[in-house]
């Protein structure tokens, strides 16, 4: 006999929390992109600032990818069937 995963509620909470964080990271990335679109890069440091902005943007995408992968692992863990435990023998 296979019992329902006793940690299903914990996994569900973790999934909801991760979905919230993924949305927050995505919204931050969108806001950064929109803000950066209206900037005019000038002066000798323009290339450096442009490169830093791009690096931060890429880091946000990588962070989001890691969170999405973690979400997949949590969903898989939530679906694991736990074998029913046998009652302990009394002596």
3-class SS string, 14-81: HHHHHHHHHHHHHHHHHHHHHHHHCCCCCCCCHHHHHHHHHHHHHHHHHHHHHHHHHHHHHHHHHCCC
* Predicted local distance difference test score (pLDDT) of residue 32: 83
pLDDT score at 38: 78
CA–CA distance, 1 with 14 (Å, rounded to integer): 27
Average pLDDT, the chain: 82
What local confidence, expressed as pLDDT, does residue 8 receive?
A: 76
- pTM of the shown model: 0.66
In sequence order, the 6+-apart residues with CB closer than 8 A to the CB of 56 are: 32
């Amino acid at each position: 006999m296979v019992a329902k995963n006793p940690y299903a509620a914990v996994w569900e909470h973790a999934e909801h929390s991760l979905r919230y964080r993924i949305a927050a990271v995505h919204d931050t990335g969108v806001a950064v992109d929109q803000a950066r679109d209206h900037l005019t890069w000038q002066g000798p440091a323009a290339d450096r600032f442009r490169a830093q902005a791009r690096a931060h943007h890429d880091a946000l995408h990588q962070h989001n990818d890691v969170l999405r992968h973690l979400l997949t692992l949590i969903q898989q863990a939530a679906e694991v069937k736990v074998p029913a435990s046998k009652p302990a023998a009394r002596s």
